[in-house]
Amino acid sequence: MTMSDTEYSGTDVSTAEPTPGATDDVALDVRGLTKIYPDGTLAVEEIDFSINDGDFCVLIGPSGCGKSTTLHSLVGKIPVTEGEIRLGGEDITHAPTYERDIGLVFQDFQLFPHLTVEENIEYGLKRLQVDADERTDRVTNIVEMMRLEELLDRQPEELSAGQKQRVALARSMVLEPRLLLLDEPLGDMDYKLQKHMERELLRLHRELDTTFVYVTHDQTQAMRLADQIVVMNDGRVEQSDSVERVYNEPATAFVSAFVGDSNIFTGELTDVTDDGSCAHIETPLGTFLATTGNLRSEPMSLVGEQVPFSVRPQYLELDSELDNSLSCQVDDVIHQPGSGTQIILEATTTDGDTHELQLKSFDRIEPSETVTVGWSAAHATLLEQTSVVDGIDLETDILGE
């Protein structure tokens, strides 16, 4: 620890004012964050992202992508090597942990087992030496908001998972943090309980109106919870955007494949249509038409380059008259009651290699053994690059292998 230890001691966290000039709607701003561990490991490199006030932001990526390092940097658990972290406009890059105005919720919630619900909630206020009257007021308010009145005298072991989550959030929120960090709190739960807790958490987020940063490796959880997703890979940010944009306008093939399901093709961009809206891509499976709408570069500048494009499984159709078509063998048909049909397809390249595709339909469909799948050019999204990381094998990288 440095000089900040003494300089900041005694400051009431809850009344810290944002520095003048801070923008009102940005809660957290991370610029150029780099962390090199003492053994030389480059854990994160030049991380940039910002989160709007009140948003639910999810940090996601395969194991080892740097999301834990990022989280620990935000909390102040590890010193950063380079870069800047601003919270509510205030530079907290080198501030000690207790000074950061950030609440934390851990995996399994980690309530104090020997304290009652009320004592758990009051604990942080006592540590900050908030006077008794104010403590009572603040505990009463949060207890009312989180509907915990009936549970105040209970021990943590007597609580259901849903109740524990509410107490853990209350314990952090009573300190009125500018930001709440949640480190895979639902990681270890049964499938059914996890779904229930996700909905509960969304409801609490709506009521609390606080900025949440949630770390997970579970894509579906990220999609279900987030307003904004930061997709990380190998210490870098692949994309930081709304759920809608990450899904429909992915920055890279990695993002498209990692978040949601997708069919990724790669080929040479040979030609651009007159109006510039579409390009012809020559792949080993044939030549396809794809939209240029998602590209940052001028499409003509990519002629002769190898470029990936992605088609979400829900946009593949059987035996339809669309811009693109491909003959496939049906490998597997999975009817999942309540969510439709998933078809695993196999196409053969001119070299005799096989390429797997997925088709998803909300209806129950029964395909024949050989089918022609089609998709429109508008749903074939050209991607600027495979990944921000050079030379990755998409398949193994995404599976975390």
Provide the binding-site residues for another protein, judged by CB under 8 A.
62-63, 160, 162, 190-193, 195-196, 199, 202-203, 206, 217-220, 223-225, 243-244, 247-248, 258-261, 312, 314, 331-332, 334-339, 344, 360, 362, 398-401
Query: Among 365, 129, 388, 358, which residue's Cα sits nearest to residue 261?
Result: 358
Nearest to another protein of 261, 319 (CB atom)? 261
CB of 215 to another protein, least distance (A): 14
Nearest to another protein of 351, 401 (CB atom)? 401
For 351-364, letters b (16+ CB in 10 Å) and e give eeeebebbbbbeee
Nearest to another protein of 33, 359 (CB atom)? 359
Nearest to another protein of 122, 234 (CB atom)? 234
Nearest to another protein of 22, 378 (CB atom)? 378
Say how far apart CA 375 and CA 322 lie, in whole Å.
5
Say how far apart CA 182 and CA 208 lie, in whole Å.
14
CB of 340 to another protein, least distance (A): 8
CB of 91 to another protein, least distance (A): 34
Say how far apart CA 226 and CA 210 lie, in whole Å.
13
SS3 270: strand
Which residue type does 33 have?
A: L
CB of 316 to another protein, least distance (A): 13
Nearest to another protein of 17, 363 (CB atom)? 363
Nearest to another protein of 95, 182 (CB atom)? 182
Query: Among 338, 372, 368, which residue's Cα sits nearest to residue 357?
Result: 372
Give me 215's structure tokens: 């770390």
CB of 332 to another protein, least distance (A): 6
- Compute the CA torsion angle 326, 331, 332, 333 (nearest 10 deg): 30
- Which stretch of DSSP H or E encloses residue 375? strand 370-375
Say how far apart CA 360 and CA 14 lie, in whole Å.
49
CB of 233 to another protein, least distance (A): 13
CB of 221 to another protein, least distance (A): 8
Say how far apart CA 94 and CA 127 lie, in whole Å.
22
CB of 200 to another protein, least distance (A): 9
**Exposed, middle or buried by CB within 10 Å (0-12, 13-18, 19+), for 96?**
middle
For 9-43, letters b (16+ CB in 10 Å) and e give eeeebbebebeeebeeebbbbbeebbbeeeeeeeb
DSSP state string for 288-320 = EEEE-TT-SS-GGGGTTSEEEEEE-GGG-EES-
CB of 45 to another protein, least distance (A): 23
Nearest to another protein of 260, 299 (CB atom)? 260
CB of 228 to another protein, least distance (A): 12
Say how far apart CA 296 and CA 173 lie, in whole Å.
41
| Residue 35, CA distances (Å) to 95, 275, 276 in order | 16, 45, 42
Nearest to another protein of 145, 223 (CB atom)? 223
Nearest to another protein of 13, 167 (CB atom)? 167
